[in-house]
Amino acid sequence: QIQLQESGPGLVKPSETLSLTCIVSDYSIKSGFYWGWIRQPPGKGLEWIGSIHHSGGNYRNPSLKSRVSISVDMSKNQFSLRLNSVTAADTAVYYCARMGPGAHDSFDVWGQGTLVTVSS
Amino acid sequence: EIVLTQSPGTLSLSPGERAALSCRASQSVSSNYLAWYHQKPGQAPRLLIYGASSRATGIPDRFSGSGSGTDFTLTISRLEPEDFAVYYCQQYSTSPFTFGGGTKVEI
């Protein structure tokens, strides 16, 4: 059964870069699906960050686009998120998730989420 | 950007009652690319409905979705204790994909 697990530092200093990896288990990332990142500030709603296909094609939320990069590593069966120039407003639980096979699909499998706090 | 407005903000009901949650979009959601999730405290969201009306794998038939265009509804026919949670709608027809602000279903 497919599982997703986020990993990365739980604390990042302001102006630095947040880096997270999503490790996919029991499912090949090359199977043609899209993969995404979503975040949720404490006590608030959900915000889509961006999505990527194993071929490398990706698209990002324009509100974050200039600061976000998403990549995929097929050899390790994982995909990653980098968000630079972080501020306190980037403090959130970050989730990785699987989308369907199309560029327009819902998120059907989610990781458990990881809290990232931006603070000095 | 498509803005999704969910109502009511909070729904206070009892087990066994019927719940109807609304999700209204600021512009038409093409191809009914509208999903519903619920989220319990400390957990990740779980997909309930996709394509406005198709139940995800393993979701009981007391959950149903309806609507098209700009108005969508999630109905829970008889609330079970495990259904008390926050519910989110999401559109995936137009980038950026957006979520509604959520409806809390409480006892």
pLDDT bracket for residue A30 (50, 70, 90)? confident
Could you tell me which chain A residue has the CA closest to the CA of B47? A108
> What tokens does B39 get?
């989220």
Contact A47 B88 (CB under 8 A): no
Distance CA B56, CA B94 (A): 21
Contact B35 A106 (CB under 8 A): yes
**pLDDT single digits (tens) A36-83:** 999 999 999 999 999 999 888 888 999 998 899 999 999 999 999 999
Mean pLDDT score, A83-102 = 94
All residues at 6 or more sequence positions from A44 whose CB lies less than 8 Å from its CB, including other chains:
none
Whether A103 shows a pLDDT value over 90: the answer reads: no
Could you tell me what percent of chain A has a pLDDT over 90? 85
Q: Omega of the bond prior to B8 within 30 degrees of 0, cis?
A: yes
Mean pLDDT of chain B: 96
pLDDT, residue A31, reads 84
pLDDT, residue A104, reads 87
Reported in sequence order, the residue ranges of B1-107 that DSSP labels E, i.e. its strands, are: 4-7, 10-12, 19-29, 34-39, 46-50, 54-55, 63-76, 86-91, 98-99, 103-106
> B46 to chain A: which residues are within 8 Å by CB?
110
> B102 to chain A: which residues are within 8 Å by CB?
45
pLDDT, residue A101, reads 79
> What tokens does B78 get?
């008889």
Whether A106 contacts chain B with CB within 8 A:
yes
Contact B44 A113 (CB under 8 A): yes
